[in-house]
Amino acid sequence: MTELTVERTAIPGLLVVRLPVHGDSRGWFKEGWQREKMTALGLPDFGPVQHNISYNASRGATRGIHAEPWDKYVSVATGRVFGAWVDLRAGESFGATVTVEIDESVAVYVPRGVGNSYQALEDGTAYSYLVNAHWRPGITYPALALDDPTAAIEWPIPLAESEISAKDQANPRLAEVTPFAPRPPVILGAGGQVGRALQALLPEAVALGSADLDLTDAAAIAAYDWSQHDVVINAGAMTAVDAAETGEGRQLAWAVNATAVAALARAAVEHRFTLVHYSSDYVFDGEADAHPEGEALAPLGVYGQSKAAGDLAVTVVPRHYVLRTSWVIGDGGNFVTTMARLADTGVSPSVVDDQHGRLTFAEDLAAATVHLVRSEAPFGVYNCTNAGEQATWADIAREVFVARGRDAGDVTGVSTAEYAAGKTISPRPTHSLLPLDKLAATGFEPRDQWDALREYLRRL
């Protein structure tokens, strides 16, 4: 008996599992698939939905090399095979080859797009594999010749002495293979400030605006073909915090920020994609000086309440990232562009000076998103703003005025109560500082907000 282990290989994502086998005079027993133990050791929780067994009557039966569009977990129920895998995915590892002999003590996890093949080493071998998508007729996928000279697989039994199907004998050489393309991410709310920043970093993504997918229509969300995507980034939101306090605005805020997110969460569970969602400092009451990721939600207004409800819906998804942010500045109308316009037109505004937080530039938020997904950071909630000392809205306005050639004294600081007098506005959190330690631990360090602001103003 050996200890359960999961080993990496030269093909990214291809994992070899060493299984404990309990044997006596009667035979042997093994746990061929044990989700809890194996995922704890790094095997993806890939959600198998179909179990197939391929029986090979004679030693030398050889099958593959096929790169089907699903993940596989392969082993043997009886007998032995020589397994060979060739990476047929687009990228630097295209053409990389790994071989492993599989008996009752070995299993292999094969990510989609990696060509899978094997050769039976004993008569009566039963080859078993779990897959996370149902087989259906008409599926096309890359395949490779078993004797491809680039892969140079050293088959234990010469192919000339092996049983090979006519289909596999006709497979192309590596130079003729069209690489398996990764499934593109989806960006929802693609027309917003964050959505546009995401598109700049993810040009391969499917960008969907409200005209492409109505997030207020749960039936449309359920009907969309999510099976073609591994990552869905929800940058769609109703962000008019004051309008959310009106009757019509309240309905829209809950429809987009909560009900739609719950529908996306259901789709993510069903189709097993990673759901990325953006949260807000408004989910807190702002009483604490800073708000770590684990703080209990306590929203003050309708906008914050609807965002908090969306956050809770996303956290039921096994594969999720919630990026909690504040004071977002991107391409389009926002606080900074408004202050720049006022500075340029000679206006001397009164700006709130008792709300504290940090700016988040959309390009930095998008970069953090891509980092978390591509680095396969632990799933969960992450604070994400720009770094540096916190400030008030009046501090930021003064920085903008100085950059536009005006005097900082042209901006008058006022309290939130003074600003709100005679208006119907949403209650604001007084303190919006979001600590960045958890994000930094993944290897991402946001820019200082003042450096980012000056660069933004130079481009404005």
Q: 284-333 pLDDT, tens per residue?
A: 999 999 999 999 999 999 999 999 999 999 999 999 999 999 999 999 89
Domain boundary among 148, 176, 204: 176
Mean pLDDT of 393-408: 97
Structural domain harbouring 191: 186-459
From 176, 208, 232, the end of a domain falls on: 176
363-373: average pLDDT? 98
Residue 135's pLDDT band (cuts 50, 70, 90): confident
DSSP 388-454: SS-EEHHHHHHHHHHHTT--GGGSEEE-HHHHHTTS------SB-B---HHHHHTT--PPBHHHHHH
Radius of gyration of the chain (CA): 28
Binning pLDDT at 50, 70 and 90, where does residue 137 land? confident
143 and 232, same domain (yes or no) = no
Identify the residue with better confidence: 156 or 460: 156
Are 154 and 200 in a shared domain? no
Nearest to 184 by CA among 168, 206, 200, 163: 206
- Each residue's pLDDT tens digit, 227-239: 889 999 999 999 9
- Regarding whether 231 and 258 lie in a shared domain, the answer is yes
Q: Are 179 and 94 in contact (CB under 8 A)?
A: yes
Do 322 and 359 share a structural domain?
A: yes
* pLDDT the model gives residue 374: 94
Dihedral sign for Cα atoms in the order 97, 101, 104, 106? negative
User: Could you tell me if residue 415 is inside a domain?
Assistant: yes
End-to-end CA distance of the chain: 67
As a three-state string, the secondary structure of 17-72 is EECCEEEECCEEEECCCCHHHHHHCCCCCCCCCEEEEEEECCCCEEEEEECCCCCE
448 class by beta-carbon count within 10 Å (0-12 exposed, 13-18 middle, 19+ buried): middle
Q: Are residues 206 and 120 located together in one domain of the fold?
A: no
Q: Whole-model pTM?
A: 0.84
The Cα angle at residue 125 between residues 124 and 130, in degrees rounded to 5: 140
pLDDT category of residue 136 using cuts at 50, 70 and 90: confident
Q: Are residues 195 and 138 in the same domain?
A: no
> Do 389 and 251 share a domain, yes or no?
yes
- Whether 447 shows a pLDDT value over 80: the answer reads yes
Same-domain check for residues 72 and 142: yes
Q: Are residues 235 and 339 in the same domain?
A: yes
Q: Are residue 203 and residue 341 in the same domain, yes or no?
A: yes
Domain identity same for 373 and 300: yes
Q: Is position 181 within any domain?
A: no
Q: Is the pLDDT of residue 431 over 80?
A: yes
| Two structure tokens written together for 383 | 């604070």
Per-residue pLDDT band for 442 (boundaries 50, 70, 90) equals very high
Measured at the CA of 220, the angle between CA 219 and CA 225, to 5 degrees, comes to 115
Domain of 261, CATH number, reads 3.40.50.720
Query: Which of these three, 130, 151, 176, is where a domain ends?
Result: 176
pLDDT in tens, 305-319: 999 999 999 999 999
Q: In what order do the strands lie in the sheet with 320-325?
A: 206-208, 186-188, 231-234, 274-280, 320-325, 380-383
301 and 370 together in one domain: yes
Query: What element of type H or E holds 74?
Result: strand 72-78
- How many structural domains compose the chain? 2
Residues with catalytic annotation? 66, 129
Q: Given this model, what pLDDT does residue 1 score? A: 58
User: What is the pLDDT averaged over residues 131-153?
Assistant: 92
Q: Element (H or E) spanning 114, and its range?
A: strand 114-120
Angle (CA) 257-359-384 rounded to 5° is: 60
CB 11 within 8 A of CB 85: yes
Average pLDDT over residues 273-283: 97
